[in-house]
């Protein structure tokens, strides 16, 4: 085990995969001198050179479109979207080209690309740099979605994403980049579609992912003091979804809260609530409750941002509503 930050874990994953496979390359803005806007590509330009770490103009459409073209022709691009919000400027390239190419062309090709998506709200970045946009992509068949929450998963899931032959959206919450944690030494792979039970419990299942997992663990600790046993499941990937782990937990606790930082309406929580309602209705002792951000763009002023974001208190309140 080695103690490292989430950022360092992603760099290690990139290094290992780029050394292993000469067709893996990184592409994005601010790569050459800064190593990515959050330093998550640091050292890669020096080791792999300008043809493997491509420093682009501010042209998100071209970055993602070129990555799709490269993937169609056998390369394995890892794209930095800078901020997840900016996916809007390349949405066509993701949803019309990357997600559909293999299907529309009858399986003639595949699109082995990764889009690294720094998302989530930190430090009053406000409306254009704070969004959590995974629900847009969950609604897009053809892409896979990864939502790591720990340095170990950041490494293991990124390596899996790079090796996967399909387009993978890798959501890395900006507040996690500096988080430290133990990462297994040697080849460390976390397969897509395997959730992790972060805390076992018997009274309620809390489903979450990415940074929100920590707010849920805080909530579970508070609930434990009141004698309520909450199980916290970190989904780790939204597609493929680890339905077995979800169902096992729901059958044990019979109560479900889904918590995410993204806005509420049409979100991942709505989808999970619907699936659980359809498949596990007889197991439930109450409705599936969603904890999410309010349905507004992220505001600038700190008290406004704090108000919009869901926290441990909202998770505790949701659990208390069920019990």
Partner 1 sequence: MQRIRRFEERAEELYLGGELPGFIHLSIGQEACAAGACAALGTDDYITSTHRGHGHCVAKGAPLDRMMAELYAKVTGSCKGKGGSMHIADFSVGMLGANGVVGGGANLAVGATIAARLRGSDQIALCFFGDGASNRGPVHEAMNLAAVWNLPVIFFCENNQWASTTSVKSVMKIEDVADRAAGYGMPGVVVDGNDVLAVYTAVSAWVERVRNGGGPVLIEAKTYRMRGHFVGDPQVYRDAAEVQAQRANDPIQRLEWRLLAEGRLDEAGLARLKDEVEAELAAAVQFGRESPLPEPEAALEDLYATPLPGGVRP
**Which residues does the annotation mark as catalytic?**
129
12-40: string of b/e by CB count within 10 Å (b at 16+)? bbbebbbeeeeebbbbbbbbeeebbbbbb
Neighbours of 233 (CB within 10 A): 27
- In the complex with partner 1, the residue whose CB is nearer, 72 or 257, is 72
Least separation in angstroms between residue 164's CB and partner 1 is 6
230: which strand partners? 204
Question: In sequence order, what are the residues at sequence separation of 6 or more whose Cβ sits closer than 8 angstroms to the Cβ of residue 279?
Answer: 247
Phi, psi of 206 (to 5 degrees): -110, 115
**Where does this chain bind partner 1 (CB under 8 A)?**
22-23, 25, 27, 51-52, 54, 56-57, 59, 61-62, 64-75, 77, 92-93, 96-97, 101-110, 112, 141-142, 144, 164-166, 193, 239-240, 243
Least separation in angstroms between residue 293's CB and partner 1 is 27
Please measure the distance between the N-terminal and C-terminal CA atoms of the chain and give it in whole angstroms: 40
- In the complex with partner 1, the residue whose CB is nearer, 127 or 240, is 240
Least separation in angstroms between residue 34's CB and partner 1 is 18
- In the complex with partner 1, the residue whose CB is nearer, 106 or 186, is 106
Neighbours of 244 (CB within 10 A): 11
DSSP symbol at 254: -
Question: Vertex 301, ends 299 and 306: CA angle to 5°?
Answer: 75
Neighbours of 131 (CB within 10 A): 25
User: Could you give the CA distance from residue 192 to residue 169 in angstroms, rounded to a whole number?
Assistant: 12
- In the complex with partner 1, the residue whose CB is nearer, 75 or 304, is 75
Least separation in angstroms between residue 278's CB and partner 1 is 11
- In the complex with partner 1, the residue whose CB is nearer, 62 or 125, is 62
Least separation in angstroms between residue 59's CB and partner 1 is 4
């Amino acid at each position: 085990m080695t103690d490292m930050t989430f950022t360092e874990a992603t760099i290690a994953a990139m290094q290992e995969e780029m050394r292993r496979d000469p067709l893996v390359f990184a592409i994005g803005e601010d790569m050459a001198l800064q190593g990515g806007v959050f330093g998550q590509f640091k050292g890669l330009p020096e080791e792999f050179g300008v043809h493997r770490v491509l420093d682009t103009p501010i042209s998100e459409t071209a970055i993602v479109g070129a990555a799709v073209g490269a993937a169609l022709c056998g390369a394995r691009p890892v794209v930095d979207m800078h901020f997840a919000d900016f996916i809007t400027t390349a949405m066509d390239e993701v949803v019309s080209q990357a997600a559909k190419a293999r299907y529309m062309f009858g399986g003639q090709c595949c699109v082995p690309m990764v889009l690294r998506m720094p998302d989530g709200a930190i430090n009053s970045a406000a409306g254009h740099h704070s969004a959590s946009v995974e629900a847009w992509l969950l609604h897009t068949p053809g892409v896979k979605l990864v939502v790591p929450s720990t340095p170990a998963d950041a490494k293991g899931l990124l390596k899996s994403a790079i090796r996967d032959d399909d387009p993978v959206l890798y959501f890395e919450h900006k507040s996690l980049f500096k988080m430290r944690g133990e990462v297994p030494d040697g080849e460390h792979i976390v397969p897509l579609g395997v959730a992790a039970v972060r805390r076992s419990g018997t009274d309620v299942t809390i489903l979450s992912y990415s940074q929100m997992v920590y707010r849920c663990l805080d909530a579970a600790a508070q609930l434990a003091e009141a004698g309520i046993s909450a199980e916290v499941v970190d989904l780790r990937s939204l597609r493929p979804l680890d339905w077995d782990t979800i169902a096992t937990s729901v059958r044990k606790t019979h109560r479900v809260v889904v918590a995410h930082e993204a806005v509420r309406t049409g979100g991942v929580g709505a989808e999970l609530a619907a699936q659980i309602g359809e498949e596990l209705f007889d197991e439930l002792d109450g409705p599936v409750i969603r904890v999410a951000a309010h349905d507004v763009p992220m505001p600038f002023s700190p008290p406004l941002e704090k108000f919009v974001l869901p926290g441990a208190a909202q998770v505790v309140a949701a659990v208390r509503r069920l019990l």
